[in-house]
């Protein structure tokens, strides 16, 4: 079988899978639930203990099909509680990032290259990894220069190893996942209180300290953050 035929089969398979998933999501109302926190909470809770796995699968699907993902971290904190919700959000986010990375690298590489070839954002990621290696991944994960879903596919087209990409993504997404899920869970369970305000202050300090890491890396590596932001 020629390479052209193999590429065509991969493309047809990918389009078919996307079509089936979106059809099921539309028929079951999942797409609407993703935009409604209360509906999403009720939907996940209806599965009982299986809800943990369902949530992670939803997070993976959201990452692979480039749907809005930020709300899921808040949903996790509300639905499963501050700690378990944060763990599930981080797990789902990491596995989703890994899945999208693999799709870009092995399943849909040709299609993505044709569609985004010459795209400034994708070219910036490729150039950044080429010059700075994993430091560039750390920088873009900690500073939302590029959207989460776009990053996953962009890095799949680079020379960055899968294991290194996944581990670094897990570590760099951990602060945000825990803070946002924890805060959401606490607000729902305890409401606004003096204790919560102190927790918010502590979370703000942590996020501030974390934000210093990419600034240090950018300065050390000579990366112009303003130039990167202009390419988003």
Burial class (CB in 10 A: 0-12, 13-18, 19+), 129: buried
Name the residue among 30, 102, 104 with its Cα closest to residue 72: 30
Residues 120, 216, 143, 140, CA torsion sign: positive
State pTM to two decimals.
0.73
pLDDT in tens, the chain (232 residues): 555 555 556 555 655 655 565 556 556 665 555 556 667 677 777 888 888 898 899 899 888 887 777 788 888 888 888 888 899 999 999 999 999 999 888 877 777 776 666 667 778 888 888 888 888 898 888 876 677 888 888 898 888 999 999 999 999 999 888 888 888 877 777 666 667 677 767 766 776 777 677 676 767 766 665 566 555 5
Name the residue among 125, 133, 68, 63 with its Cα closest to residue 91: 63
Residue 148 CA to residue 171 CA, distance in Å, equals 14
Q: Are 134 and 168 contacting, i.e. CB atoms less than 8 angstroms apart?
A: yes
Structure-token pair, residue 190:
């305890």
Domain ranges of the chain: 3-230
């Amino acid at each position: 079988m020629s390479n052209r035929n193999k590429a065509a089969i991969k493309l047809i398979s990918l389009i078919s899978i996307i079509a089936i998933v979106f059809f099921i999501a539309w028929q079951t109302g999942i797409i609407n639930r993703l935009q409604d926190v209360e509906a999403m909470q009720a939907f996940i809770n209806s599965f009982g203990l299986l809800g943990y796995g369902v949530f992670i699968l939803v997070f993976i699907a959201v990452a692979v099909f480039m749907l809005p993902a930020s709300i899921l971290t808040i949903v996790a904190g509300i639905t499963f509680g501050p700690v378990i919700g944060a763990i599930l959000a981080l797990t789902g986010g990491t596995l989703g990032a890994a899945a999208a990375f693999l799709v870009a690298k092995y399943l849909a590489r040709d299609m993505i290259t044709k569609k985004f070839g010459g795209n400034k954002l994708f070219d910036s990621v490729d150039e950044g990894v080429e010059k700075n290696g994993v430091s560039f991944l750390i920088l873009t994960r900690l500073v939302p220069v590029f959207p989460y879903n776009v990053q996953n596919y962009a890095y799949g087209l680079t020379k960055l190893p899968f294991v290194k990409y996944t581990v670094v993504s897990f570590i760099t997404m951990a602060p945000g996942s825990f803070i946002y899920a924890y805060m959401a869970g606490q607000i729902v369970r305890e409401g606004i209180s003096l204790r919560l305000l102190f927790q918010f202050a502590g979370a703000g300090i942590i996020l501030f300290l974390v934000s210093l890491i990419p600034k240090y890396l950018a300065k050390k590596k000579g990366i112009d953050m303003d130039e990167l932001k202009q390419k988003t």
